[in-house]
Each structure stands twice: as structure tokens, then as C-alpha cells.
Structure 1
């Protein structure tokens, strides 16, 4: 899978930009604040329909403009595609192959993109929310209907928590919410369980490569209903519904929903020690890299093609040994790499690398003198 080109109109600090990309390495070099991350942000939007930097679409429209356009031609499993995103008048329109889509799940999975940023290096040591976000984002790319389950679950959770905050709580209404939460939550539990089992196996293999077979990485699913490998969706629903009902009075007292998929997490161990608590910073970073690499491999297995990889200012956070290990384990993945240092180009094969120099929203392709 690869992104062949990108067009931006009134996006962040770009008036009208058109870039053609190499199938292997695309290195975006420039000082901070010049527009490197803006380009990879736009690529991300072609995959997910939203920014990874803000939830407010109006913030990405160029100052003084009223609308923006992002377009990109891509190749997936030898089939060509075009994704376009337009934002204006507080509305967003997305087209896939010139056809308007009405739900984000219709966009997900067309162009698979994995982003690796400095924040991801803290994936292991940060809180459960970051790890849930990692899980949710990747399952949604592989299985767009998961995104629909998640949206519906979160809507009901918000309604249930609002009801719990009322002076007089309507328990009949809570029963209705509990049934719906258990229904959507059950599908999410089972899909998360199956995803984590796959990614745990792949990430352990990756981790062995990165550590010269000196460390074993063990990842398991931490959930509140003691889900087993044999449990069906119905089993998960029954377990979750039982939890919600048996803890209802406590939820009423605390005015919040204690149990559900919104509390899930990952257990992460290196050589039988909890790396979140006892791992060194180097071990935590290597475990995070293993997780991100396993994400790439799993997408490849599920869709029969490599995803596009964004490395946003990651190299500055890694020593040269880990930089090389990361690149060596990426194979023929198309990469978009932002860096403030041109020196990072020495890590890559020059014949497979396009270098774009970015200065104040102007992009120059160093290889051919202009873009």
C-alpha cells in the first residue's frame, strides 16, 4: 500500500501544495514550526477523516480562508483509489473514489495508516486511556464495524452517566441503558480480546528481534469481566450485564459507571516483571516500539498489504541503535518521516529516499530542485 501524491489547499500554512511521493522513504526535513507535521497530519486525515492534533476542524483551515481541501491518490492491493476531504462552513465532506460517504466507518480501511509519534514512546508507561486509544484505532482500521460499536457504546455511556447525576435516578431507564451497554460492550470485549491475542504474539517476536532474544514481552488483556478465550459474545454480554446490575447502587452513589469497556487496559510484562512499574526507560521505549511494529504486521496480515507509516519526529527521541533497529524491521513499508535534522538521511538507502525540505510552508524536493 502506498500514497502516490497529496494535494493541499488552504490546509494549515499551505495555500496550494502538490507533492509526489516515493514508494519507500519520504523524509520531510525542516526546523520546528515550518509545516512538516502539517503534511503528515493531512495524510492521517485521508485515513481517519480527522486530525491527530485537534478535534476542531476549523483550526486546520489556513488563517484568513473559509475552506480547505485534501486529496490523495493511493494504491492498495494493486487497486488505485482517491480520497478527498473538504471542510468549509462548519461542514465536512469526504469522498472515496468520487463517491460521498456518510459515515466514518465507510472511510476506515481504505488507506491504512499507522502513526508513530514521541507520545507513542510513552504508550507503555502512560495511563490506560492511551492504550485503549491505541487498541481502538487499530481495530477500527481492520474492522470498521468496531468503530460503530464504539461510537454507540460511548453515546449510551454518556446518557447513563447523565442519568446517574440526576437528583432522583430513574432505575428503569438505567435498566434500558444497561442492556444496550452490555450488548455493544460484549462485541467490543470479544474483538479486543482477539486483537490483543494476535498483537501479543507478534509484538513478542518483534521484541526478541529488538533485544537480541534477551527479553520476552508478554501482553494480556486487562478487563473487568474476566473474559476467557472460550467466551462468546453472548457470554460477554451476560457477564457485563451482571456486573452493571450488581453494582448499580454503587454507581448511583458515586454518580458514574464503574464497569465496562471504558475501563480496559493492557498488562505488559518483560521477563515476568511489570514494565510499567519496574521497566527502565529504555525497556519501556523498546516495548512501545514492539507494539507499534506489531500493529504494522497485523494490518499486513489482515488486509494483505502493508499500511503506510508516519514517523513524526520519532528519531530525535531514539538513539542511533534503536533508529536503525526500527528501520531494519520495517521492510518495504512506505514511510513518511519528519525530522529537524537532515543528518538522519544517512540511515536510509539514498536510492529509495525522497527528501523534501520545508521552510515557512514552502516545500523543495532536494532531489529534483522543486515541487
Structure 2
């Protein structure tokens, strides 16, 4: 079992919530606004990264609490993990494993997390930046060190853009140094994205074609994947980049292209139902990759309500075949009738959780 004895303290609208006796399926039921997704968000913070809402840390603390929050859980092998903030540093995240403070990236050594939320339904309609963030989150669940490379890339890119936008001519040697940093981190980020797309594509080919639409994925790099080739491309693009006031080549311009297999149609042009089905297929394929790496947790927010009975049954059956611990939310029990006997069920009411 991945997670048990979960404790939320002054997190969002949960003053003190405890969830014990988890199983392979875990179901949170309650009205809209009761705090179901807040539980999933808390669980998502037990992994590297900013969680499923990417919220600022001060926003996670309960409004009428001490201004801090804490989340803790026990892994099936007795390991205690936790995260939160302290009163003396509310804008800095603290992470502990077995009582010892560690960098957040260490969480990825113990647990892999994936999720699907209603906000992601617009993934194929938004700009390329949303798909890059989606891609990086999938990579991070498999390769925790990706967060460090992405942060170095972002820092070097921000500084290079600042120099390019300055009216004064930038120092070429300074640009050389920044471009070397950008290329080193950028090549690692781009290569990790490419590896993931290759693995995901293979996993998607192994999934049944029905009843969910099968997506075909393509990685469209915004620059060379090799470090030295990226250094060269950045140097050659300086004049053009200076005219634009920003860097026009590199992994910050990568794109994830998704088409629906069989129709050869871009995902953005598919129906809402087809887009949802492709997202579910990607999520299930990624969950399979997570299960092969370390204990895995899959968070599915309001996913069953938007599926017809055939697809709901197929989803539950595929989840049964995996080893990931699954957390689902819904406003009522009816859509989950097929799994309620094998699930731990909680009713969520205004930030309080009662086991059914």
C-alpha cells in the first residue's frame, strides 16, 4: 500500500483531517466545495513540485489558522513522509522523511504521483507552455532530478533574456557563460522530455484501443537536444534574439503534439469527449510507467462523472490491473457503484472527513 495514516493540519479548509485504513481504491464523496480536491492537492504535495494546483505556499494554509500547514503520511513499509511550512518561514517548503529534514526532491525517491483534474481538460486548447508544464510534471514523477535541471534552465534563461532586453549591448563573455549554463541544463531537460515521450508512446501502443481514444504523441523540440549543438544555436541566434528581446531557440519553446490515432486529427480539433478520453489514456499509460519505478499513487478528480457507464467500467478495470493506489472524488456514490465494495469511502463535509 502506498499511503496510509494521512494527516492534514490547517491545510486549505481542513483544520485537522485524518485518513486511516486506505486501500487500493480510495473514494472521497461530497458536495462541490466540501474539500475533496483539497485532499488530493495535499497528497500531490507529497512529491517534488508545486502540486496539482501549482499554488503559492502561503495560499495553502487555512485562512483562520496560524498561517502554516502540515501534511504527513506513512508509506506501506513504515516510512514517514511529510511536508508543510513553519511560522518563521511561511514561504519556504519544509520536507521531512523519518523526521529528518531533506530537500523536496528526495520525496521522489520514495513515491511517484500522477493526477488528472478537470482543469486539465483544456490542455490541448491552451498554449504550448501548458503542455510543457504537463510534460515536465510527468517526467518529474519518474525522474526527480528533473526539477533541478528545469530550475537551472529557467534561471539561466531569465538572466539571458534580461541581458538581451537591456538597451546596452550585453557583454559577449557574460552571454557565453549564461549560454553554457542554459545549454547544459536545457539539454538535460529536453532529453528527459524526449525519453518520456518515447516511453509513453510505447506504453500507449500496448493499451487496448477501446473504449478510450488512443493518442499519438510527438515531441517537437524548440532547439537541438545535444548540449554543444544548443550552445552553437544560442550563439548564432543572438542578433535575432536581441531584436526580439527574448530567447527564440531552446527547450523553453518545445511542444508536445497530440493527434488521435485512426483519425489523424490534432487533439485540439477533436470533440471534448475525445480529448478527455485521450487524456485518460495518457494518464493510464503514465501510471503504468510509475508502477514500474516505485510505489505509485494516482489522483483522479471528478473523472467518473464525465464518463458513460461503458467507459467508467473500463477505467475501473484498468485501474484494478495496475498496482497504483488510486484516489477518486465525486459528488455522489452512484458512479462508483462498481468499486465501492473494494474501496475505502470517506464523506467530506466542509473540511471534515467521515469514513462511510
Common fold: TM-score over 0.5? yes
- Correspondence for 1:265: 255
- Correspondence for 2:317: 328
1:226 Cα deviation (Å)?
5.9
Matched, 1:159 2:159: yes
2:159 & 2:95 partners in 1: Cα distance? 29
1:279 & 1:54 partners in 2: Cα distance? 27
Contact kept, 8 Å, 1:109 with 1:141, in 2: the verdict is no
- Correspondence for 1:289: 280
1:272 Cα deviation (Å)?
6.1
Q: Partner of 2:346: helix, strand, or coil?
A: strand
1:54 Cα deviation (Å)?
4.5
- Correspondence for 2:236: 246
Matched, 1:311 2:309: no
- Alignment equivalent of 2:346, drawn from 356, 359, 365: 356
1:46 Cα deviation (Å)?
1.5
Summarize the Cα distance change of 1:335–1:21 in structure 2 as closer, same or farther, 3 Å threshold.
farther
Matched, 1:199 2:184: no
1:54 & 1:134 partners in 2: Cα distance? 12
Summarize the Cα distance change of 1:128–1:279 in structure 2 as closer, same or farther, 3 Å threshold.
same
Summarize the Cα distance change of 1:245–1:119 in structure 2 as closer, same or farther, 3 Å threshold.
same
More moved, 192-201 vs 105-114: 105-114
1:281-332: CA deviations, max 9, x gaps?
Answer: 33222221111111101112233x4x11111122223333322222211124
State the superposition RMSD in angstroms. 2.0
- Correspondence for 1:11: 11
Q: Structure 2: which 5+ runs fail to align?
A: none
The two structures have a TM-score, normalised by structure 1, of 0.87
Q: Structure 1: which 5+ runs fail to align?
A: 228-235, 367-371
Contact kept, 8 Å, 2:48 with 2:106, in 1: the verdict is no
Summarize the Cα distance change of 1:55–1:121 in structure 2 as closer, same or farther, 3 Å threshold.
closer
Q: Partner of 2:329: helix, strand, or coil?
A: strand
- Correspondence for 2:116: 116
* Paired positions, count: 348
- Correspondence for 2:86: 88
Contact kept, 8 Å, 1:116 with 1:292, in 2: the verdict is yes
The two structures have a TM-score, normalised by structure 2, of 0.91
1:209 Cα deviation (Å)?
4.1
The aligned runs of 1:118-137 (5 Å cut-off) are: 118-137=118-137
